[in-house]
Chains A and B, each alone.
Chain A
């Protein structure tokens, strides 16, 4: 700890409009360490690292590299100084190969012929060295999320960085991919690199980081070696509340059944023999399930095994090749999405940027998306009631703690977690019989996750049927009455709550049927 830190920032301040995003932040990164930057949404983690990466200009403060003051005005400067950053959402050219994406923006030795043999060899060597498995010839569009992220990391390594910043790198990864990412990070620091790991997931920092810093509301409140910190101490700092954490659902292994209420007889959602196919092949096949009033049916599975297609099939967003969907006593097969939503169905899609929000519209407009023809937002003749829309928006912004300057604010200014809150607010704004939620807590901080779980359980008590699709097994096991596991578009098995077991579900997720 006594050596000069490889990266040191001092007194960083940054203000966006009325929001002081960073308040006088100091932070030191030692060489050969994985430094976990932990904090809730809007804590300033990403903003701080964007300052280091030259994307934002700090209002005041100084960055030191290996003890020397530097000015970083752009990502290009940052890379020249050996700093690379992998963002939560990456910009890649889908139709280019991995190699082409990586060399883009670097000097190419054989520009007229685009002979990329050298580059390819270098990428192969890097990928072997750090266990970042990738086919340099593959096209980006054919790769799963985990591989695309490896491309992004290789992009930075290819440019010779020795400080790598990862912003929420595990958000889109499966458990296996997370493990292999962590192995690669350990190999990198073993070779002398330094890694800053931005996350809000406590378990991840505890498993991989050497040093942990906690940010809250733009201030750095804590930095210490992992060995000196307890989980509870970290959570307390992150949340900043003095209330007893023992009450928190996140730390309980079991859902408290008196809160959960009972599953009723009435079947709310009934899917029979669903098959969805498009030009990419069969995405959902031979799928039947039903959800009763007051029941939470969990859907487990590695991402991309038909979860989104199942949800979209139920909602009429995708046409069914076969099968029927009933909601209550109504056959909704072939009905338009709007009619289905108006039956009291709410949907929170997985991909919030693509499927969940209107970037150039206001927060208020976003909040009524899907309900724009309902009273009181619209009269019977289709004239909008601006006042009702604004009033609802103000109420939802407060109830769901959406961090925004107000209902007229452009949605594009919201952070990922706040977009998620906005989608949840939209789903819970109206009485609902059937909830279809896909990774509803992705990108949320601990108190917000807690809030969503409470909401789910209180709706369950009141008789709402919930189809909960999640990549987070802990979440599913905590909340569900039954868990069905999807593999390649089919249900491999359904477990009752009493039979929940992480390893059994894990096996089903890789396609092995349960034997009991």
Chain B
């Protein structure tokens, strides 16, 4: 009681740098492990490293590709981290992306003749609403009966796979395509380009805006405070007047809406139509990004950028060195494992 209380704030560049050290070590360790693997397989390790890390920065095209990749990744990660803040796991991001994409495509095809100021917002809004709608079932089951959201959100993904197949082969199939694909949406639904050579669509700006809004919401508003409090201790939060079941519901709906928006951006910005498989492995990468960021919504965009760089590097690896792109997936997984491991080590 007699000792003076030290009051200090852990802020400033030194603290940030200190927080980054374990990440840096995790990245180095992951690259080292994969380096060993590549060497054993007889590849040029240093060239592989430089391909993975620097493809994004060597050419304008590489950098644009990275930004295009970043857009769905950061949105998928946020679709995961918002419910995570409330202590809930949304593993249905790809289903929500697909259904959001279907909603966007439906509006874009059915109202194809409308001009851009009307059609584009409608397309994006439809995607957002459809994504939220897709998670409404699991969210309501959780709210009403306490049914585990991990199971229900995962299962909804499988329904979405069938739904996109049905849409792309039965409702609006494009007979000219060799792959289940719909006909294109109206040109008024295209996201305007920021750059035309190489093309960079304005979905990037939407993603930046969403990332800023989410960070502001979770870290600077009383509603966000309640979300985080719910995740930290739902019981204590309810004792102090937070309606935690409503927070669960709300957080999942927000996550679904953002995932749906990412689907709409893929349709309106990248493909201009619905393509089966367009969800890529964004869900898994989104979860990895969210977990590496440890749910910190300020860190998510930066982690997403790093993962986007690796992903672009992966395609280049496959193209130029005939190394399977999955090798990069191993790097990403290892980074996550080492980051988690560094927590365990630090607790000792």
Contact = CB atoms under 8 A, between A and B. Distances in A.
B58 interface: no
A382 B222 contact: yes
B233 to A, nearest CB: 5
Contacts of A386: 220
A365 B240 contact: no
Contact of B233 (A240, A358, A373, A382): A358
Contacts of B240: 337, 341, 347, 369-370
B212 interface: no
B1 A372 contact: no
A399 to B, nearest CB: 11
Interface string A329-344: 0000000111111000
B77 interface: no
Interface in A311-345: 312, 315, 317, 336-341
Contact of B236 (A315, A355, A404): A355
B9 interface: yes
Contact of A347 (B10, B239, B243): B239
Interface string B1-23: 11101111111000000000000
Nearest to A397: B5
Contact of A408 (B9, B220, B242): B9
B232 A358 contact: yes
Interface stretch (B137-145, B223-231, B280-288): B223-231
Contacts of A511: none
A69 to B, nearest CB: 23
A217 interface: yes
A312 B239 CA distance: 8
A294 interface: no
A403 B228 contact: no
B237 A404 contact: no
A277 interface: no
Nearest to B3: A217
Nearest to A381: B221
Contacts of A114: none
Interface size range of chain B in the complex? 20 to 34
B225 A337 contact: no
B296 to A, nearest CB: 12
Contact of A370 (B11, B223, B241): B241
Contacts of B239: 312, 315, 317, 337, 347, 349, 355-356
B220 A384 contact: yes
Contacts of A71: none
A360 B232 contact: yes
A372 B237 contact: no
A337 to B, nearest CB: 4
A136 to B, nearest CB: 31
A40 interface: yes
B225 A372 contact: yes
A394 interface: yes
Nearest to A401: B1
A382 B3 CA distance: 37
Contacts of B235: 354-355
B236 A406 contact: no
A382 B221 contact: yes
A338 B241 CA distance: 4
Contacts of B11: 408
Contacts of A368: 225
A357 interface: yes
Contacts of B225: 365, 368, 372, 384
B6 A357 contact: no
A410 to B, nearest CB: 10
B148 interface: no
B232 A382 contact: no
Nearest to B15: A408
A357 B233 contact: yes
Interface in B199-239: 220-226, 228-229, 231-233, 235-239
Contacts of B228: 361, 365
Contacts of A338: 241-243
A163 B87 CA distance: 41
A355 B232 CA distance: 11
Contacts of B223: 382
Nearest to B240: A370
Contact of A372 (B222, B236, B238): B222
Contacts of A88: none
B7 A407 contact: yes
A377 B10 CA distance: 21
B229 A358 contact: yes
A349 B235 CA distance: 11
A448 interface: yes
Closest 9 CB pairs of A and B: A338-B241, A358-B232, A370-B240, A337-B241, A378-B222, A372-B222, A360-B232, A355-B239, A406-B7
Interface of B: 1-3, 5-11, 220-226, 228-229, 231-233, 235-243
16 contacts: A337-B238, A338-B243, A340-B241, A361-B228, A365-B228, A369-B229, A369-B236, A372-B225, A373-B222, A383-B222, A394-B7, A398-B7, A403-B3, A403-B5, A404-B5, A408-B11
Given A360-B231, A361-B228, A408-B10, 10 more contacts: A336-B241, A337-B240, A338-B243, A355-B239, A356-B236, A359-B232, A360-B232, A383-B221, A384-B225, A407-B9
